[in-house]
A and B are shown apart, each in its own frame.
Chain A
Amino acid sequence: MSAVASSARATPAVGWRDVALAVAPLVLALVVAGIVLGVAGHNPLEVYWLLLQESFGGVKRIAATVAASTPLILTGLATAVAFRSGVFNVGVEGCVLVGGLAAAYVGFTYVGLPAALLLPFALGAAVIAGTLWMLVPALLKARLDVDEVVTTLMLNFIAVSLTAWLVNGPLLAPGSANSATPMVAEAARLPRLLPPSTLNAGFLIAIALLVLYWLWGRGTALGLETRLAGLNPRFAIASGINVPMLIIKMMLLSGAIGGLAGGIQALGTVNRFVVGFSPGYGFTGIAVALLGRGSAIGILLAALLFGALATSGATIQLFSDVPIEIVNILQGTVMIFAVARFGWLLKQRQGGK
């Protein structure tokens, strides 16, 4: 009886500590950004209250927030699947770009196809482009142990320039002066869920993938293998897991999801590909994955948070003289504190044992 009571009491205690640790990076980031705001002569609390209202005050605002979080759920997930297996893929940004361009290309080229064919075809092209984009760093990491951080980081810059070249030259919309492809056909567009907001069916795809990710992590052998490989590669090798093959699989999967993020953005929100297509979705995805600590629900909450920041940051600039860059400052500091926390978490555990 008392044992049951104490264990019941012990569980929520651990839960609270986990929640506190998960929220700590956000709180620290808010403090840092608050200091920046204060120095610039704004009242941080007022600004944060305004941000909160602008992101969740009303159905329209919530729809905008959810729409803004859609690409972040996907890039966060793409980053998380790689991190989970111990692979430091920082190249999701590049996958978003090539995936977005591939989807747009299919969407404005094969305009004769019916929606039932064209939409899956365009999304498929995005997935394939993202996957192929990760093929080189995956093979290099698995076969030759080439540092994936450097290769994927370099590939981001290559993707930026390569897609810029394509939309300024071969794929430029006729008669268009700004670097953009033609608009995709109606049939290639993801249906909007709550017009006039840009919330579209891509959000449902993102949620479905999150659920799959959750099931996959719990119930499949591959899910367990990746966790082992991520936690302790030597033990994983010793227990007979083919780690190089696993690395290739997870990096390609990460690329596929990253490409899909770009495809959904191209077919659901932008309806074409333009230079500056991604305001750093891939990099924000890293912050999302870290803040969400790799769990499905964590990724969802973190993506909603950053989506809220992005959408409210854009409107707050209209109603006050607070620069939208406060959002970037928050994103960067959240990233920094999110990994700082892992450090002392480990330390405490070691101390406990």
Chain B
Amino acid sequence: MIDNIIHAAFVMTTPILLAALGGLVNRVAGLVNIGLDSMMLAGALVGLMVASQTGSWPAALVAAALVGGLLGLLMSLTVTRLQANEIIVGLGFNIAVAGLVRFFLKSWYGTSGTLSLPDVAMLPRIHIPVVADIPILGAIFSDHDPLTWAAWLLVPVTAWFLASTRMGLRLRAAGAAPQAARALGLNPLNLRDASTVFAGAMSGLAGAYLCIGVVGIFNEGITAGRGFLALAAFYFGRNRPWPTALGALLFGLFDAIQIRLQGRGLPAELVQTLPYVMVIVILTLVAITMKRARNKGA
């Protein structure tokens, strides 16, 4: 029972974590990405289609990352070159892409809402022999797919990248001090575009994971607002990769528990509100501590 929940929690964490790391890098470079959910949705659909057409899961992941990245680029260009407000553009992308996806489903496949395709290549599970039999540890480490492993490996990599590489430093400069970055001969807008493409690609992968890692079919509500949970996760982690991962894991755990609670008399709807309530509570606590620190300083 516990093992089941832990395993499910990790499964549900993967898409949130992938998108959250993308959104984190994006925000560090100066763009708050409200459109993660739209890139996830597009990645999910394209991932499933390519997985069915080619029978190859790596090809599906590449395609999902590409379509996510392309949407990211379009969004970023609107924000950086046409100086549009990032929040509105993000919301606009969510509405337009959701419409586009359903439009495509209806005109291409003649189906509304759900798409089920033959011969979908699902992500393989990596079974680790001895560890798999140990309680709890087995659930944490064994029988996960490559994308879950990649997501968790990306946490320290992102931390290192932002803290210690030239590119990481440049991205941070583009976000925190665009004028200083420009003075150093960097183009903060290009850097911001690159970070949004990355966020889009990561969200595309996150969407593909939902399709070819979890259920094997596409549904118009498949992201279930997980792009917004990802947003919540990096706000929760205040742009630091490890706390962001912890936030994503917490949301994954809620997701897993909520699925278990359905049909047990406990209202799933109320459990679903918890991550969002927590974001507000945590932002409040952070703001209070910062205010106290300021008052002490003054």
Contacts and interface: CB of A to CB of B under 8 A. Distances in A.
A271 interface: no
A36 interface: yes
Contacts of B291: 144
Contact of A168 (B103, B232, B267): B267
A158 B92 contact: no
Given A40-B103, A326-B103, A338 B287 contact: no
Contact of A146 (B97, B231, B269, B284): B284
Interface in B85-138: 85, 87-89, 91-100, 102-104, 106-108
B245 to A, nearest CB: 19
Interface residues of B, number: 45
A101 interface: no
B102 A335 contact: no
A154 B276 contact: yes
Interface in A127-141: 136, 140
A158 B225 CA distance: 12
Contact of A165 (B104, B231, B270): B270
A326 B88 contact: no
Interface string A141-169: 00011110111011101100110110011
Nearest to A335: B92
B167 interface: no
B270 to A, nearest CB: 5
Q: Interface on chain A toward B: helix, strand, loop, or mixed SS? A: helix
A342 interface: yes
B280 A329 contact: no
Contacts of B85: 339, 342
Contacts of B89: 335-336, 339-340
A160 to B, nearest CB: 9
Contacts of B158: none
A88 interface: yes
List of 6 A-B pairs having minimum Cβ-Cβ separation, nearest first? A332-B96, A328-B99, A343-B83, A335-B92, A332-B95, A165-B269
Residue of B84, B96, B102, B287 most packed against chain A (CB within 10 A): B96
A18 B297 CA distance: 49
A286 interface: yes
Contacts of B276: 154-155, 157-158
Contact of B283 (A147, A168, A338): A147
Nearest to B80: A343
A89 to B, nearest CB: 11
A290 interface: yes
A247 to B, nearest CB: 15
A333 B93 CA distance: 7
Nearest to A41: B107
A336 B88 contact: yes
Nearest to A345: B83
B235 interface: yes
Interface of A: 36, 40-41, 88, 90, 136, 140, 144-147, 149-151, 153-155, 157-158, 161-162, 164-165, 168-169, 280, 283, 286-287, 290, 321, 323, 325-329, 331-336, 338-340, 342-344, 346-347
A323 B103 contact: yes
Contacts of A146: 283-284, 287
B283 A329 contact: no
Given A41-B107, A161-B270, A323-B103, A332 B287 contact: no
B232 A336 contact: no
A136 B89 CA distance: 25
A145 B291 CA distance: 9
B273 A168 contact: no
A286 B87 CA distance: 11
B237 to A, nearest CB: 13
A147 B238 CA distance: 13
B91 A140 contact: no
Given A157-B228, A332-B93, A164 B99 contact: no
Contact of A325 (B93, B102, B287): B102
A166 to B, nearest CB: 9
A169 B270 CA distance: 11
Interface in B248-297: 267, 269-270, 272-273, 276-277, 279-280, 283-284, 287-288, 291
A325 B100 contact: yes
A35 B89 CA distance: 20
B82 interface: yes
A144 B34 contact: no
A286 B93 CA distance: 13
Contacts of B283: 140, 146-147, 150-151
A329 B88 contact: no
